[in-house]
Amino acid sequence: MANAYTLDFEKPLLELERQIDELKRVGEERDIDVAEELKALQAKLESLREDLYRNLTPMQRVSVARHPKRPYTLDYLGSIFTDFVELHGDRLYRDDLAIVGGWARLGGTSVMVIGHQKGRDTRENIKRNFGMPHPEGYRKALRLMKLAARFQAPVVTLIDTPGAYPGLGAEERGQSEALATNILEMAMLPTPIITVVIGEGGSGGALALGVADRVLMFENSVYSVISPEGCAAILWKDASQRERAAFALKLTGADLQSFKVIDEIVPEPVGGAHQDPDAAGEALREALIRHVAELKKVRPEKLVRRRGEKYAGMGVYSEA
């Protein structure tokens, strides 16, 4: 099952997959039993895949996080949540389709789910603006969060964006203000907030949905202050130095956990969430249900105080 979106570092897998397909074809054509050889090749494929994924470089992980077949917010809304009702618009300007949100049920609990939404193909990506929201997207998100808080429903945000959209209209309508307001309001929101980085966590455009009581990251997601390409362009005037920048930026889940910026890493199937979306969804569902149950026990005032204390503790400095 060679797929059209093979990442560079997965090329060795492609060759094995080709051999497997070839063997199957020969077996069928000549009606010979190739089960043994097939099993051996498949085992080899799996172990090679495991090896590759155990030793991903930071930039390779970025490419998995950006994989065009990776499950997006609406995929999880369809698989692990039920009773989803999408709510549109910021009530001020328009509906930004780079962010989706609405009521949904998780286990037995009604929650507000809000997430960035990328498109699968060019047409869809134009509609979704490649998952890069304008201010109105963030304002829609905030409207839904406040709605959730009023009904004491937990908020679940799913992060998957290259960043807030850098464009004329976005600046005219106050991208800075929209991000700044969301970040502040999320810090003060009197209801549980759980954030999961499901793909790309791109800078302020990610954080504006990501101030939360619990922040989780999928194993092959990344979260950074700037893209490796952007960092390389600024520091070394050369976007092709992205490997070097990805390494320097320390943007993997393990890195962020060591800085105490995130609380938990959600495991992915070998080969990335897109290899087995159901398994990825199940792992996400389990984690979300657990955190919602824990946080629902805490009084809102205490929740907000603890959240503030958590962010107050972030950063590394010394006192001379």
Partner 1 sequence: MAWFKKERKARISQRTKLEIPKDAWERCESCGHVDIRERFERAFNVCGECGHHRRFSAEEYIELLTDAGTWRELFGNLRSQDPLKFENYADRLALAMKKAGTSDAVYTGFGRLEGLPYHIGVMNFAFMGGSMGSVVGEKIARLARRSVDKRLPLVIVCTSGGARMQEGVLSLMQMAKTSATIGVLKAEAIPFITILTNPTTGGVSASFAMQGDAILAEPGAVIGFAGQRVIKQTIGQDLPEGFQTAEFLVEHGQIDDVVPRGSLRETTARILRHMLGHGAAIPPAAQTLS
Which residues would be at the binding site for partner 1 (CB under 8 A)? 164-168, 170-177, 179-181, 183-185, 187-188, 203-204, 207-208, 211, 223-226, 230-231, 234-235, 248-251, 255-256, 259, 261, 307-308, 311-312, 314-320
What is the nearest approach in angstroms of partner 1 to the Cβ of residue 5? 24
- Nearest alpha-carbon partner for 84 in 116, 110, 119, 117: 110
The CA–CA distances, whole Å, from 301 to 138, 188, 192, 298, 306 equal 24, 9, 11, 8, 9
DSSP string, 192-254: -EEEEEEEEEEHHHHHTT---SEEEEETT-EEESS-HHHHHHHHHS-GGGHHHHHHHHT-BHH
DSSP state of 84: E
Looking at the Cβ atoms of 173 and 290, the one nearer to partner 1 is: 173
- Identity of the residue, 106 or 198, whose beta carbon is nearer to partner 1 in the bound complex: 198
In the complex, minimum distance from the CB of residue 247 to partner 1, in angstroms, rounded to a whole number: 9
In whole angstroms, what is the distance from residue 116 CA to residue 114 CA? 7
29 alpha-carbon distance from chain centroid: 44
Nearest residue (CB) to partner 1, 63 versus 203? 203
- Residue 50 beta carbon to partner 1: minimum distance, rounded to whole angstroms: 28
If the CB atoms of residues 218 and 223 are measured against partner 1, the closer one turns out to be 223
Decide: helix, strand or coil at residue 299: coil
- Is the Cβ of residue 3 or residue 176 nearer to partner 1 in the bound state? 176
Question: At its nearest, how many Å lie between partner 1 and the CB of residue 187?
Answer: 4
Task: State the nearest-atom distance from the C-beta of 295 to partner 1, in Å.
Answer: 17
Q: What angle do CA 231, 234, 240 make, to 5 degrees?
A: 65
What gap in Å lies between CA 6 and CA 69, rounded to an integer?
Answer: 10
Q: How far is the CB of 244 from partner 1 (least distance, A)?
A: 8
Supply φ then ψ for residue 190, to 5 degrees.
-85, 55
320 token code pair: 């001379």
Closest approach of partner 1 to the CB of residue 13, in Å:
30
Q: Which residue has the tokens 């709605």?
A: 147
Residue 204 makes CB contacts below 8 A (sequence gap 6+) with 163, 164, 179
Closest CB to partner 1 among residues 113, 164: 164
Q: CA-to-CA distance for 85 and 316, rounded, in angstroms?
A: 42
By beta-carbon proximity to partner 1, the closer residue of 151 and 259 is: 259
- Check if the beta carbon of residue 48 is closer than 8 Å to that of residue 13: yes
Which CB sits closer to partner 1, 104 or 304?
304
CB of 242 to partner 1, least distance (A): 14
